[in-house]
Amino acid sequence: MKSDKIRSIIILTLAIFLSSCEQPETTESTPDIVMEQVDLILTNGKILTVDSEFSIANTVIVNDGRIVVTGDASLLEQYESRSLVDLDGKILMPGFIDSHTHIRGRPERYIELGETESIAEIQSLIRRKADELGPDEWITGYGWSEDELAEGRRPLRQDLDAAAPRNPVTLTRAGGHSAVVSTSALELAEITDATPDPEGGVIERDDNGAANGIIRERQGIVGRLVPDSTYEELIASLEINLNALLAKGITSITDASKRPGEFVMFEEIYSNPSIPLPRSAWQFQWFDPEGIAEVKERVGDGDEFLKIGPIKVFVDGGFTGPAAYTLEPYLNQGDYRGYLNMPEKELVTMLNEIHDAGWQMGIHAIGDAAIELVVDTLADTLNRSPREDHRHYLNHFSMRPPERTMELMSEHSIHITQQPNFTYTLEGRYVANLDGWRLEHNNPIRSPMDHGITVAISSDILPIGPLVGIYAAISRKGMSGRVFGADEAISVEEAIEAYTLTGAYLGFEEDIKGSLEPGKLADMIVLSEDILTADHEDIMNIVVEKTYVGGKLVYSN
C-alpha cells in the first residue's frame, strides 16, 4: 500500500512538471490587409497599353480620371474600386486621337450626303428639303462621292435643277475640294458660260462650253451667297456632332481650318456640356493673326478638354478636284499639274512669318510638288532660325515626294499626319488622275517611317471612322479590293500607335494621353473583336463597344 501511494505521488509530480514545461500555444493576429480605394478597375481583358514595348496587360486601375497602374490580375489584391468592369477577354486600348479632322455645326438648310448611294437618292433629299424650306431658300449639303453612287458619275446642275427648280443649291463633294451647284445658284452668283476660271480654281464646262455646275477648289464664289446660319442652330448641332465621335472611339481631335471668332462657340459648349464630348484642339488659319493673338491671350494654353493647336496653312488643292500641285502632269490632262493656293513668294513669306511668331504649323500639302516646296522652305527657315522641338508637320502628304525631300524632313524633324483611309475612299480619283509608280505609292506610310519621319494617322472625315484608316494602312486596299503599293503597308501595332500616341505627340500631349500608362488620362475604348489577330478584311467590322474619357463611361453600344 505504501509503495502504491509513493508511486501515485511520483506520477502526479511528474505530470505537473511536464505540464509546466510545455510551451503555451500562441495565436498571432494577422493584420487586416488595407486595400487602396480607387474609382475604376477594368480587368480580365487584353489591354493594349501602347507603351514603348507595346505591352499587353490584364488589368488597369483608374483613379481621379487617370491611369494608376496596369498589370496582371494580382492588382485586384491591392486595389478596391467603386466600379469593377469585367472585360471578358475583350480588347481595351487608348482612345483614338484624330489629329486632322473637321467638325461643324449644321444649319437647317443642310442635308447630309455621306451615306448616299445614288444621284436619285440625293435628288430625293433635295426635294424633301425644298418642301420643308419653301421656294427661293438656299439648300446646302456635304459628302457625296461619285465613287459611291450607283450612276457612276458626279451629280451635275441639271440633276439639282430637276429636284428643286425654285431653290439655289450647292452640294460639296466629300473632301471639300469641289461642289456641284444648281442653275439658280450660278445665276445668283452671276456665273455664265463665259465667266473665266477663278485663280486657283476651275468652273467645269461640258462639251458645248456650258458650265456643268461643278466648281473645283473655289466653290466659295457661289457659297459666299448662302445666308449666315444662326448661332443657336449651329451650336445645337455642333454639340451633337462632337458627341457622335465617341461612338467611333475618338476621344481627342484636332479640328482643322477654323477662324478665331468661332472659338467662343466651342468655349460655350465645353464650359457646360449637356452631353459627353471628346477633347478638342483648334487649328486656326493665319488670315487673322490679331484675332488669333486675342484668343491666345484670353485662354492661354487652354485645358485638357479645349485648347489652341497649330496654325493651318493651305498650300495646294486635293485630288477630288483635282487640284493638288504635282511635279508631273496629271494622267491624260495635258500639261495640267494642279495649283498652289497662293503665289510661291507669298507662301514662303507666310511660312516664315508664322514660324518666327513662335507657332507650330500643320500645313496642308497633298501633291508632291507642294510637299517639296514646303519642305525646302521649312528647311531654309529652320536653318535660318532654329527652334528646338518646333513639331511642324504636314497634313496629308498624299503623294510620295523625292527621296531628298524625305531626307530633309527627317533631318529637320518635320512630321506628318497622314490619311491612309484616302487610299480606300479616294481610289477612283487616284486611278483617274495618276498612273505608274506615283499611283502605287500614293498615301505612303512605310517609306517616310523608314526615313525616320514621325507619322500620325488621322481621318480628314473621309470617312471619319478610324478603323477604315487602320484597315487601309495595313492592307493598302482601295474600295475595289485592289492593293496599291504593298511595300507602303505597316503593321497593325504601328497603325494603332499612329492613331493614338503619335497623334498625342503632334499636339505636345504625349505625356498626358495616347497610351495607358501611369499618370495619363484614362481615355480608353473597348472593342468587340481582337484587332491584333483579326483578319484584315474584318477590321472595318469591329465595333467600338464602350468609350471612356477621363475614366468616365461616355458611350456604350
User: 485's torsion region: left (phi>0), alpha (psi -120 to 50) or beta?
Assistant: left
| Structure confidence at residue 240 (pLDDT) | 94
Residue 429 identity (one-letter amino acid): R
Secondary structure of residue 440 in the 3-state scheme: helix
DSSP annotation of 316: B
pLDDT (0 to 100) of residue 236: 87
Q: What is the chain's percent helix, strand, coil content, to nearest 5? A: 35, 25, 40
Describe the strand order of the beta sheet including 59-63 as a list of residue ranges.
66-71, 59-63, 40-43, 84-86
> If you count DSSP H runs as helices and E runs as strands, how many of each does the chain have, helices first?
18, 26
Q: What is the DSSP code (8-state) at residue 246?
A: G
| Per-residue pLDDT at 34 | 80
Distance CA 120, CA 122 (A): 5
Distance CA 144, CA 127 (A): 16
Local structure of residue 31 (DSSP, 8 states): P
The conformational region for residue 359 under phi > 0 = left, psi -120 to 50 = alpha, else beta, is beta
Instruction: Judge whether 177 and 217 are in contact, CB under 8 Å.
Output: yes
* In contact, 105 and 258? CB cutoff 8 Å: no
Round to whole Å and give the CA distance between 247 and 555.
6
**127-163 burial: b if 16+ Cβ within 10 Å, else e:** eebbeeeeeebbbbbbbbbbbbbeeeebbbbebbbeb
User: Which residues are registered as beta bridge partners of 548?
Assistant: 524, 553
pTM for this model (two decimals): 0.86
What is the per-residue pLDDT for 399? Answer: 98
Overall size of the chain counted in residues = 557
Per-residue pLDDT of the chain (557 residues; tens, 9 = 90+): 444 444 444 443 444 444 444 444 444 555 566 899 999 999 999 999 999 999 999 999 999 999 999 999 999 999 999 899 999 999 999 999 999 999 988 999 999 998 899 999 999 999 999 999 999 999 999 999 998 999 999 999 999 999 999 999 999 998 888 999 999 999 999 999 999 999 888 999 999 999 999 999 899 999 999 998 888 888 989 999 999 999 999 999 999 989 999 999 999 999 999 999 999 999 999 999 999 999 999 999 899 999 999 999 999 998 887 899 999 999 999 999 999 999 999 999 999 999 999 999 999 999 999 999 999 999 999 999 999 999 999 999 999 999 999 999 999 999 999 999 999 999 999 999 999 999 999 999 999 999 999 999 999 999 999 999 999 999 999 999 999 999 999 999 999 999 999 999 999 999 999 999 999 999 999 999 999 999 999 999 999 999 999 999 999 99
Contact 363, 374 (CB under 8 A): yes
Which contiguous run of DSSP H or E holds residue 173? strand 169-173
* 420 Rama sector, left if φ>0, alpha if ψ -120 to 50, beta otherwise: alpha
Does residue 331 contact residue 376 with C-beta atoms inside 8 Å?
A: no
Q: Position 266: which residue type?
A: F
- Domains in the chain with CATH codes: 110-223 (3.10.310.70), 315-490 (3.20.20.140)
Concatenating the DSSP letter of every residue in 320-341 gives TTT----SSPPTTSTT----BS
C-alpha cell at 96: 483614338
Compute the C-alpha angle 38/43/48, nearest 5°: 105
